[in-house]
Structure 1
């Protein structure tokens, strides 16, 4: 897999031990992992990167993870957003899901296996969503082409009535008329 095809995962947490643990956990995956220690460095370092997943701590100095992910929702709308939190703050979870369209809210300490499954599922979900967008655009393009062809057939029919009708014999073969 080329570098352009590898999923890019941004990790944002003010605790270096958490970033270290996540980088170690992800090192055997075919992912590009970018780390930031706070919201300011995340904005500065990540704004020009393609991001597939953004994983942010919920409580950080200066801003909370939901606010940060909401900002990334504007700059990276296709990136899935995940919140890590040491507290089970139900109101925060609801706000995160509703405001920032967070894909998952994961409590610390996390299970490595569960976290990896969640990220694999998130990447598959993102891939399917992008494929659905691509297919929907293809359908729209084909519908436009069909509409153009339909208009052309209507134009031809108005100029030469009957030109678009095909006559077939009993065996299904096209018959040609001797009329002129």
Structure 2
């Protein structure tokens, strides 16, 4: 199950988004369970983000309290791994640039949106988020393994310094261990 946050100052848009995303299916036709919260006040949405984790957030660009970029910047500080999507009925180039560069949004979609495009974008966002989290976990595992290897190498170096040759094994042509190189 994925938690999704919708933010738009127009309640009808929120209802429409909820209706569009209420039945989300993956590429195999499997129904994806969404826990959808919607807010017409970005400040209330930010409060909700303090207590609940969201996999994705879809925000309107133009809202009276704050614009979508400002909202997503605040949201990003609370939940940096959430997929961030902006919807806008206006073609504001400066706003798009700010959304991409500052809020690091996943997609900028136009209103009125195409339902299939919105669904597909959300599915792509979930997949991208999953890969980013897996990559971070793998990188953490590699770091821990490197630390362990470095400790072992340091121990071997210490042993070698104390007793030269103790960590070196000389093998014979038939797989025997040679105690003396001669």
Q: Does 1:139 align with 2:142?
A: yes
Does the 8 Å CA contact 1:53/1:81 hold for their aligned counterparts?
Answer: yes
Q: How far is the alpha carbon of 1:167 from its aligned partner?
A: 1.8
1:74 is matched with 77
Q: Which consecutive aligned stretches of 4+ in structure 1 deviate over 6 angstroms post-superposition?
A: none
Pairing 1:92–2:95 present: yes
Contact 2:172 2:178 in 1 (8 A): no
- What is the alpha-carbon distance in structure 2 between the residues aligned to residue 107 and residue 168 of structure 1? 69
Paired with 1:93 and 1:62, the residues of 2 have a C-alpha distance of 19
Q: Is the 8 A contact 1:7 1:31 kept in 2?
A: yes
2:5 equivalent among 2, 10, 31: 10
Deviations 1:68-93 (A, max 9, x none): 11111111111121111111111111
What is aligned with 1:177?
179
TM-aligned CA deviation for residue 177 of structure 1: 3.1
SS in 2 for 1:14: coil
Aligned to 2:127: 124
Identify which range, 51-60 or 40-49, moves more after superposition.
40-49
What is the root-mean-square deviation of aligned Cα atoms in Å? 1.4
Q: Distance in 2 between matches of 1:121 and 1:89?
A: 24
Q: Distance in 2 between matches of 1:58 and 1:168?
A: 70
Is the 1:54–1:81 Cα contact (8 Å) retained in structure 2? yes
What is the TM-score of this pair, normalised by structure 1? 0.90
**Does the 8 Å CA contact 2:85/2:106 hold for their aligned counterparts?**
yes
- Structure 2 runs not aligned, ≥5 long: 24-31
Aligned residues: 172
Matched residues in 2 for 1:66 and 1:95: separation? 7
TM-score by length of 2: 0.89
